[in-house]
Structure 1
Amino acid sequence: MSFYQQNLEAFLQLLEQQPQLFTESKRQELLRLIDPLPDDIETLSVAIASWYEKDDEIVDAQLEILNQSLLMNQEPQDSAIAKLALARFPGANNQNLPKLNQPLNKETLKNVIQQ
């Protein structure tokens, strides 16, 4: 899986798991940002990353999800290294992060933003 795909999946999880980080104006701003863009994972990922880098709270939460995802993909869930690494994340547990039950594309991104 490419970093661009991982970044978008993590962002979708963030939208679903921590909706309080996204005010209505932020959601509208995101929709205006992605609306003219092509339905291309790399383009969408770069645009989203450029947008969220302006908000420290969203950056921190996004990085937490990405780090947890990377750790779980690199280390077996029951390894001592994975357990110790995941323990440093607030509220973390040793279960795999939920996978998206939807395709990863522009339409899915817009739908999750609007929820």
Structure 2
Amino acid sequence: MTFAQKNVKAFIKLLKNNPDLLNTQDRQTLLDKIPEDFQEISKLLLDWCNKLPEINTALQQVRRSLPDHEPIGERPAAAAFPTAETKAEYEKNLKEELLNALRQSSPPETEKPNTPTDD
């Protein structure tokens, strides 16, 4: 697992275990800024977390708890290294998992009360 993969996976785990870690504005900001390039996603998360020492420390702890190597899909033992296609698919899935974790950790929006105005 690359550092970028491990970093994104750790952030997802952090979100799932601490859904109240981010406020609504932070979640939306991250959702709006998630780039296409996987390395850039990892860099965005690192840069954002560096501004928030409490979250950065938590992310580092989760990242350290993750294994360095994770099986990518079901592969025969002889296939020790993933193909470029497998890596790209894994990163695409991780990106989707990140987006879903951000969306699911957001509190449900409350409807504005329908109060009549005095005209």
**TM-score normalised by the shorter chain: which range applies?**
0.5 to 0.7
Partner-residue secondary structure (3-state), 2:66: helix
SS at the partner of 1:27? helix
CA deviation after TM superposition for structure 1 residue 32, in Å: 1.7
CA distance in 1, matches of 2:57, 2:45: 14
Alignment of 1:42-81 (within 5 A): 42-70=39-67, 73=68
Greater relative contact order structure (CA < 8 Å, 6+ sep): 2
Shift of 1:20: 1.7
Aligned to 2:32: 32
Q: Which has the higher helix share?
A: 1
Q: For 2:63 and 2:98, how far apart are their aligned partners in 1?
A: 17
Quick check: which has more Rg, 1 or 2?
2
Match of 2:18 in 1: 18
Q: Which residue of 1 aligns with 2:98?
A: 109
Aligned residues: 82
| Cα pair 1:11 1:62 within 8 Å, conserved | yes
Q: What is the TM-score with the length of structure 2 in the denominator? A: 0.62
Letter of the aligned partner of 2:100 in structure 1? N
Q: In 2, distance between residues paired with 1:62 and 1:108?
A: 17
Q: Percent identity?
A: 33
Q: Which amino acid aligns with 1:104?
A: L
Q: Deviations over 1:41-99 (max 9, x none)?
A: 211101111111111111011011012225xx59xxxxxxxxxxxxxxxxxxxxxxxxx
Mapped partners of 2:47, 2:98: distance in 1 = 16
In structure 2, stretches of 5+ residues that fail to align are 70-91, 105-119
Q: TM-score, normalised by structure 1?
A: 0.64
Moved over 2 A (4+): none
Structure 1 stretches lacking a partner, 5+ long: 75-101
